[in-house]
Amino acid sequence: MYPLDNIVWKALTTRQAEFAESFNQVRRFMPEVSPLAAFPEPSAEAYESLKGLVDPRETIGLFLDSPYQPQPGWSFVAGAPMPEMVYEGDAGLRPADSRERLSPHEHDQEIVELNAADVPEMMALTVLTKPGPFHKRTHELGTYLGLRRDGKLVAMAGERLKIPGYTEVSAVCTHPEHTGHGYARILMAEVMQRIRGRGETPLLHVRGDNVGAIALYERLGFKLRVLLHFAVLRKD
């Protein structure tokens, strides 16, 4: 098995086991942390066990190797092809260079480390921009950085899934009124620097139809590893 195979399962059984709830052969993140769940193999028994961790009408997210196949007791809510990309170069790891391209009035924008006090703004920004699920305690999974303008959080990026040797860059988003300034690149470069500084390799997941984001990630040195499939299911 490749180190990154079944990454949600590995996160929940290694570096992020403290955030896990388990039942039989499945695990999930605590609901207030993340809606993601995983099992060793996507068997009928695994989907049956997953019911023990999910309330009726509650939704859960899965990373699958192939498109979701209907299972008894579950309704398919949404899904999409999801490239998994791994950092393989040094491109983009110079945030100072990115800041040099900002206009003069933007040079005073500082990268700030976000914490529990910032959660309402973080959740509002992710609801608006939809980079992926972000809950009240998602920020506890890793470091989240933001850029503020006139006191308002206008962009952020952070860390989500962690397994031995790897950390996922996640929640990369910019308020639609503040795009075009390179904020996503600046924040991603800083998050990546910190991950690399710990001797780990950055990786990320992105919707397959988000061609603009994929192009940015490739410029930052990410390469496609595998095409996964994200599925959101609701328990009947």
Q: 11-45, pLDDT tens digit by residue?
A: 999 999 999 999 998 999 999 999 999 999 999 99
Tokens, residue 72: 């008894």
CA 134 to chain centre: 9
Percent of the chain's residues with pLDDT above 90: 89
The pLDDT of residue 108 is: 53
Tokens of 161: 């899934």
Model pLDDT, residue 79: 96
Helix spans in 44-118 (H): 44-50, 95-100
User: What pLDDT is attached to residue 104?
Assistant: 39
Strand-pairing partners, residue 157, are 145
Per-residue pLDDT band for 98 (boundaries 50, 70, 90) equals very low
Backbone angles phi, psi at 202, to 5 degrees: -75, 145
User: What are the two backbone dihedrals, phi and then psi, of residue 59, each rounded to the nearest 5 degrees?
Assistant: -105, 155
Residue 208, amino acid? G
- CB contact burial 201-236 (16+ within 10 A = b; e otherwise): ebbbbbbeeeeebbebbeebbbeeeeebbbbbbebe
**Angle at 130 (CA atoms; ends 49, 192), nearest 5 degrees:** 90
Strand order in the sheet with 20-23: 20-23, 26-29, 37-38
Instruction: Reply yes or no on whether the pLDDT at 91 is more than 90.
Output: no
What is the helix, strand, coil percentage profile of the chain, to 5? 30, 35, 35
- Read off the pLDDT of residues 39-48 as tens digits, 9 standing for 90 and up: 999 999 999 9
